[in-house]
Chains A and B, each alone.
Chain A
Amino acid sequence: MTSETHAVAAAAGSGTYWLACSIFAISFLLIVSEKVHKTKVALLGAAATLGLSVLSQEEAFHSPHLGIDHSVIFLLIAMMIMINIMGRSGIFEWSAVRMAKLARGRPFPIMVVFLLFTAVFSALLDNVTTVLLFAPVTLLIADELEIDPIPFLIVEALASNIGGTATLIGDPPNLMIASRSKLGFMDFVVNLAPVVVVMLAALVAVTWVLFRKRLKVDDKRRDHILQMNEAKLIRDPALAKKSLFVLVLVTLGFATHGSTHIEPATIALCGAAVLLLISRLDAHRVLAEVEWPTIYFFVGLYVIVGGVVKVGLVSDLSRFVIDITQPTETSMFATSMVLLWFSGIASAFLDNIPYVATMAPMVSEMAVTVFQDGAAVSPVPLTTLHHPVIMPVWWALALGSCLGGNGTPIGASANVVVLGIAERSGRKISFLRFMAYGMPVMFLTLVISTFYLWLRYY
């Protein structure tokens, strides 16, 4: 337990304790109910946390343990700026048509290359923007082939959530886990990318079983794809080159930050600043396109969760999990498995961002309890956070919370976006139709994760 939490844990059961718990519970319920926009709820919860003195302003804004995680916030903003500029170049649409042509206009190979492309871009950029840029061109390709675009869109959403699991920047839960655990970009790649590759292979196999017979078109339709002039889709060739150049540099920066010791948020901010400058785009227009509601959702959540960390609720939750799973200093197998499956199922129905915002500090508390006997040290030493026995627990949390998003249309933002685009194009995807594909894929990937964690770490 850290000194900050230790100081207030004594207040457990007091008025402040229940106040923080109430703010947390009410905010969580309102977010789940979707009656009020989640950003409004998070900001109101944060305002209550500060206004009712559960957390001081100093703690909320400046405490590394209790406050807003600025490295996550700025990494998100910087990535949004970069992808926004990149999206304006037309490079995504160009790549998609190019790949469809490389697949010789055959629907199933197109589905596979789109699946893999979405997964790779989701690992390097954010999932929502990747599917947002891919969905319209997918509709175009399906339209030209005169086939149902829905299987393509669903598979892209699933691939996006799986691909995003592979890296620190791929999915917001990983960002939050990385920041809390102080794990680096390559830690995520080395520990999660191998299993993500297996999952993507499994997803290809599933799509082959489900769709290969349904996706047949005549040569005339295929010719429509082969005759497309993808060069027309590049709006700004110079901007496309500049964007790719900066993206490659930023990815290299992420990959080497373990040795350069430059934090991912710094690398992303440098990339965003340079791209903004060399793109010569209007700063107002680019910055206006940043998803500020998402950013403020994170800000609000950090303050709310900071409140329940401070009063000791997260420590209580950590003790509860410890009591159930009985981790020892040599093995936390049961803890990993419970966390993997609980996170998976919870993330299918709940927003995984507030979930991980709560669970990441909980795993940190667990590490302190198990490896330091709860001794108060702040910040928590890396030897504790990176103890070989706790590492699989971090990966279990990442895998569960990212992959669970595939279970339902509301499980991940990428799913919501795909459903929205499908509806706008007159092809509504029902909740159940999405689940008919999403749930089996979610369970399949969680089973693969179970075996992976077991074989690699135990």
Chain B
Amino acid sequence: MNVRTAMLESPVTTTPEETFPELLNRLLGSRQATAAVLDPEGRLVGLVGIHDVLRKIVPHYVDIDFKLMEVMHENYLVERMAGLKDTRVADFMTRKLDTVAPDDTLIKAAGIIVERCRKTLPVIEDGKFLGMVTRRSILETVGPTLL
């Protein structure tokens, strides 16, 4: 089995210039948690997902002391979210990526996802973005053999 068999061919895509509310609207309307960020030539420049949004609204010092979050005011998250109104995808997309090729084995993609704690891997061939392989798409491909 190769990556092509589990690849989502029409994943959610965005551009670095798209505003955050526009992207959020489309992500929440899809079943996907991550969007591929493409430049005007259709080349992959990054990924942006629900986790990046949460990372943006959860303060960084939480990793020092989780207990501190218990005394924050009730609307903290809502206010932080409102602060993202004018931000763009480029402000919080991830630029360091792991990618796979369509002919790579599916076990290689699954291995990268597990070992590097990725949720989504972009599929690239000759520098061109083809689609995404996700944890769910892998299981949807492999899972039926068990059922």
**Cβ of A259 < 8 Å from any Cβ of B?**
no
Contact call B67/A139, Cβ cutoff below 8 A: no
Q: Which residues of the other chain, B, contact A425 by a CB distance below 8 angstroms?
A: 59-61
Measured between alpha carbons, how far is A144 from B68 in the docked complex, in Å?
Answer: 11
Contact call B59/A139, Cβ cutoff below 8 A: yes
Name the residue on B nearest A92 (C-beta). B65
**Cβ of B73 < 8 Å from any Cβ of A?**
yes
Q: Which residues of the other chain, B, contact A426 by a CB distance below 8 angstroms?
A: 60
Mark out the residues of chain A between 217 and 235 whose CB falls within 8 Å of any chain B CB in the assembled complex.
Answer: 224, 227-230, 232-233, 235
**Chain B interface bracket (under 10, 10 to 19, 20 to 34, 35 or more):** 10 to 19
The interface residues of chain B, by DSSP majority, are classed as helix
Measured between alpha carbons, how far is A229 from B60 in the docked complex, in Å?
Answer: 21
Mark out the residues of chain A between 86 and 141 whose CB falls within 8 Å of any chain B CB in the assembled complex.
Answer: 90, 93, 97, 135-137, 139-140
Tell me the total A-B contact number using a CB cutoff of 8 A. 52
Contact call B67/A90, Cβ cutoff below 8 A: yes
**Cβ of B78 < 8 Å from any Cβ of A?**
no
Name the residue on B nearest A220 (C-beta). B73
In the A-B complex, list the 3 residue pairs whose CB atoms are closest, starting with the nearest. A425-B60, A228-B71, A136-B64
Measured between alpha carbons, how far is A233 from B67 in the docked complex, in Å?
Answer: 6
B80 CB, min distance to chain A CBs, angstroms = 9
Contact call A227/B73, Cβ cutoff below 8 A: yes
Contact call A139/B61, Cβ cutoff below 8 A: yes
Measured between alpha carbons, how far is A213 from B73 in the docked complex, in Å?
Answer: 25
B66 CB, min distance to chain A CBs, angstroms = 10
Contact with A along B22-48 (1 / 0, CB 8 A): 000000000000000000000000000
**Cβ of B146 < 8 Å from any Cβ of A?**
no
User: Among the listed B59, B64, B71, B76, which residue makes an inter-chain contact with A229, where contact means beta carbons less than 8 Å apart?
Assistant: B71
Q: Which residues of the other chain, A, contact B147 by a CB distance below 8 angstroms?
A: none
Measured between alpha carbons, how far is A144 from B61 in the docked complex, in Å?
Answer: 13
B116 CB, min distance to chain A CBs, angstroms = 22
Q: Which residues of the other chain, A, contact B67 by a CB distance below 8 angstroms?
A: 90, 93, 232-233, 235
Binding site for A on B (CB under 8 A): 59-61, 63-65, 67-68, 70-73, 76
Contact call B59/A143, Cβ cutoff below 8 A: yes
Contact call A232/B60, Cβ cutoff below 8 A: no
Contact with B along A383-421 (1 / 0, CB 8 A): 000000000000000000000000000000000000001
Contact call B72/A424, Cβ cutoff below 8 A: no
Name the residue on A nearest B69 (C-beta). A140
Name the residue on B nearest A138 (C-beta). B61
Q: Which residues of the other chain, A, contact B65 by a CB distance below 8 angstroms?
A: 93, 136-137
Q: Which residues of the other chain, B, contact A137 by a CB distance below 8 angstroms?
A: 65, 68
Mark out the residues of chain A between 304 and 350 whose CB falls within 8 Å of any chain B CB in the assembled complex.
Answer: none
Contact call B70/A233, Cβ cutoff below 8 A: yes
Q: Which residues of the other chain, A, contact B68 by a CB distance below 8 angstroms?
A: 93, 136-137, 140, 233
